[in-house]
């Protein structure tokens, strides 16, 4: 019987061949990033594995901790939010914008602390703050963020406020808030300032430039741009806090963005600048049309010179984004009727996709927000929110015109 030489490898069994991934000496250099669906990662030696788990060497460990698709979009957003600025920041990608908000909540607040929040923010953010007030003993104080004097008096009186939470442009009233002034108040009264930058995206607005501490994105919206996957971002100027404390919260909660959703997000981000330019141009055309319609009493779009915040938005933003809202003269019933007549525009409670989306907050996204609370901040029964897409704007206007008759 012929002996096997020392250099001759023993042939693997059939089941072993099917079970193993072996690229051999092939060098794989894909033009587009692949989807890394592996849950775990292999080390070339026991020594390297020990170094990695001790934190002495960097490598992927487990996809709940991090994975290549996540790091790719995180690195990209860090560059976008700091583009042209001499600022360092760290981004983490989450399974949704709300999981990003949850990680911020868990990292900067403790029982007994308080939040100073803008009254007209995303409905689910309001629901989150309200839901957990008693559970975690973290009180939320809602205020009009236009009134800076009132904010300062609240901060002066409430020493336990540790987070100032804003959203600009606001959802769904489309107000603009002074990020620099809010940041100065935060520093003066030892409170972190966080802004939801979803409506603007980093292409139109870079909050770090104005001194904010944290940025949140529902990257399901403009950053993905196609409505194909869920994801969210938390970006912070305190790099060590993000890399250690907030990263650990994401790891323990298991709220990292899945590889496939991160892959879709990266594809969407490739065309962000092109899409945002067209969103802005179309939204302005639609806003001007709505201004002249007899069924509409008011149009909220920062690109209109008549808007009270137009000058601030022009100073703080590159352009005015693709979302607007408008008031129907006949209130709630008119909103319901209008929703039933829409044909081209998609009736759904989301925004930031390439097609035009429309919704009636009082009966949809803000239906669980107490009526008195939403109306106090301009979210009335007749308010309609419109996320203008990049279609032929004449078709969008024609659909709105027939539905308003």
Residues designated catalytic: 64, 122, 196, 221
Cβ–Cβ < 8 Å for 167, 121: yes
Run of H or E residues at 92: strand 90-94
From the list 23, 26, 57, 61, the residue with the least C-alpha distance to 42 is 61
How far is it, in rounded angstroms, from Cα 305 to Cα 288? 11
Determine if the peptide bond prior to 169 is cis (ω within 30°): yes
Using the CB atoms, write b or e for 87-115: b if 16+ within 10 Å: eebbbbbbbbbbbbbbbbbbbbbeeebbb
CB atoms within 10 A of CB 16: 9
Structure tokens at 182: 């809010």
């Amino acid at each position: 019987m012929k002996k096997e030489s020392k250099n001759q490898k023993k042939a693997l069994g059939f089941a072993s061949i099917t079970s193993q991934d072996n690229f051999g000496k092939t060098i794989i250099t894909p033009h587009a990033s692949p989807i890394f669906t592996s849950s775990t990662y292999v080390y070339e030696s026991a020594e390297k594995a020990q170094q990695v788990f001790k934190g002495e060497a960097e490598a992927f460990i487990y996809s709940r901790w991090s994975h290549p698709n996540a790091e790719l979009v995180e690195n990209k957003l860090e560059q976008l939010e700091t583009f042209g600025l001499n600022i360092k920041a760290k981004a983490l990608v989450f399974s949704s914008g709300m999981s990003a908000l949850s990680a911020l909540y868990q990292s900067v607040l403790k029982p007994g602390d308080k939040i100073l929040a803008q009254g007209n923010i995303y409905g689910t953010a309001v629901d989150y703050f309200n839901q957990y007030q008693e559970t975690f003993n973290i009180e939320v104080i809602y205020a009009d963020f236009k009134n800076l004097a009132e904010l300062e008096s609240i901060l002066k009186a409430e020493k336990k406020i540790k987070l100032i939470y804003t959203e600009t442009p606001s959802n769904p009233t489309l107000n603009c808030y002074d990020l620099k002034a809010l940041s100065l108040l935060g520093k003066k009264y030892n409170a972190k300032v966080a802004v939801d930058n979803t409506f603007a995206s980093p292409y139109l607005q870079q909050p770090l430039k104005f001194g904010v501490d944290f940025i949140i994105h529902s990257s399901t919206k403009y950053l993905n741009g196609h409505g194909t996957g869920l994801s969210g971002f938390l970006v912070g100027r305190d790099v060590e806090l993000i890399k250690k404390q907030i990263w650990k919260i994401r790891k323990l909660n298991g709220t990292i963005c899945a590889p496939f959703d991160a892959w879709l997000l990266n594809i969407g981000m490739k065309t962000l600048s092109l899409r945002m330019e067209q969103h802005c141009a179309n939204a302005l055309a639609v806003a001007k049309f709505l201004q002249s319609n007899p069924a509409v009493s008011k149009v909220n779009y920062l690109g209109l010179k008549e808007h009270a915040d137009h000058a601030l938005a022009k100073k703080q933003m590159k352009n005015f984004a693709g979302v607007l809202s408008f008031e129907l003269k006949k209130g709630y019933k008119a909103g319901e009727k209008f929703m039933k007549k829409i044909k081209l525009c998609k009736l759904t409670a989301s925004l930031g996709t390439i097609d035009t989306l429309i919704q009636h907050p009082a009966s949809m996204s803000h239906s669980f927000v107490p009526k008195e609370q939403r109306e106090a901040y301009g979210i009335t029964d007749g308010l309609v929110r419109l996320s203008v897409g990049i279609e032929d704007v004449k078709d969008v206007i024609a659909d709105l015109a027939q539905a308003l008759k």
